[in-house]
Structure 1
Amino acid sequence: MRPDHDPAADELPVSSEQTPVADADTTEVIDADPIESDSQSWARAWRDIRDGFRQRELWLSLGWQDIKQRYRRSVLGPFWITIATGVQATAIGILYAALLGQPLTDYLPYVAVGLIVWNVINASILEGADVFVANEGLIKQLPSALSVHVYRLVWRQILFFAHNLLIYFVVLALFGVWRDLHWTVVFAIPALVLLFLNAMWVSVLFGIFSTRYRDIAPILGSMTLMLFVLTPVMWNTNSLREQGGQVAERARLAEVVPTYHYLEIVRAPLLGDDQKLYHWAIVGAITVVGWIAAAIALRQYRSRVPYWV
């Protein structure tokens, strides 16, 4: 027994003021409002998107470094992106214009702009599915919002698109496309905003589930190849409608493919073609539904991604 120990202290009753403290703690845990818990989960998902945007110095730098790293020690650097797309558009334009009997001055600009837009769609799906797996090291070591990697991917695609846009200006000058343009060309700006907004939710949604289920990425690879064939990138729906009859009716099947509508809202104003309102309505509806699905996935599985990668 310690010399300073008071035996009477062992017989002291527990103070009544201490009991409510334990009861209050217990009550707070047991009676926690599930609605408040859900609200905090939604808040965390929104905070991730907001904080990721605020860390723009990080993802702007990383996105630019991705391009520099890919073309390191190259004389032309990122302009190889433009050259590769330009050569592809020229080869396809010349070949298919002859096979389909289309005027080269009309068909090659159509294919060139279609390929530029399709490259964004294709990369958003394929690279979006791999966005978290490819950044495993940063996710585990860098204390940043999960959306930083999505912003980085979309920023990289914007840079690729900007380089490929040089092809459009060359086509504009060489083939006289500028004569067909009118004030509706400004609609290409909101169309591009919608395109990259969709690239974000696609990256969030497919990225999360592809991290959990690794079979999704190869499935998406096969799906994008199929979509490229079904989407009128190299063939024109107008030429089919002009033939009339059953051929014109079959051209409507292209409207079932979602990527067709994304292609049209960007390509039509850039080439001075007539725009259809229903293309914008369909893209807008898909954007809203896609972001709702992405928000739910981010709320439910955001905290598990670091364990899945």
Structure 2
Amino acid sequence: MDRRSLLALPLLAPALAAAQGGWPARPIRIVVPFPPGGLADLLARPLALRLQSALGQPVVVENRPGAGGNIGADAVAKAAPDGATWLLGSIGPLAANPFLFANMPFDPRTAFAPCVQLISTPKVIAVNASRPWRDLPALLADARARPGAIRGGSAGNGSSLHIALALLNRLAGVEITHVPYRGAAPAVTDLVAGTLDLIIDNTPNILPQLREGTVRPLAVATAARLPVLPEVPTAEEAGLPGFVFGTWFGLAAPARTPPDIVARMAEAVSAALREPEIGPRLAETGAVVGGGTPEQFAAFIAAQVAVLEPLIREARIRAD
């Protein structure tokens, strides 16, 4: 291929894409239903750049935060099912929110066509470094001896951190007091300062403090140990079987989006996640990189709903 042909490739890409089934024939919008700068936003922007190159159309990231992700998700649910609008959703708007909010503008079970899981972010049980608990059994023994005395922080009522704490209380038969914050960052700040006793946070969020030694990890809520925290036992290894819980993010389209478009986007995203500048960098933060098919993501969401609904109802968790 000569130099002139090579230079023309970027201009020809949209036409080639349109010729291969008509999608994408125009710019693509990825709605992130959370504020800029968060994990979802930091995931969306490098992914958008990779997809723009792979699909031959501009890919724009639009932040539409509010109501635990419901505002942005509702905008996608009501968008035309033509493959031009996608939701970078999470455990909230794609699974948990119907059980957390009294009034939902959409039903995630019917509003979206699941496309592909992007990442999951395992949780780690961490305590202030000055506290006496050296392992999870010591923490739980103290919690049983002093019901309500130990304070656990979260990113807010109905957040995944709140749900994780409720799951810990239920499985261990303890009563750790929930202290909600407006976001995980101020909760971690108070944990480091000693105002809080513990937090069950996403590994990428708290990994810097764990490495600095300002907070102490007791266990990870995963089936196997994490490569970034190989010395930290799983909750089951620490004597609490069944405590496996994490946050996750995935891509979804409006319901009735043609299955072939959803499948093609899943393939493009899975390929992007394997790129050195995306997948390995995410793994370095403690995230577990996803990928796969729409069918796999749909089955995963259904399994999550089966766990979340009874837990949220039993613990009477409500969002702000």
- Pairwise TM-score range, normalised by the shorter structure: under 0.3
Q: TM-score, normalised by structure 1?
A: 0.24
Bigger proportion of residues as helix? 1
Q: Which has the higher strand share?
A: 2
**TM-score, length-scaled by structure 2:** 0.24
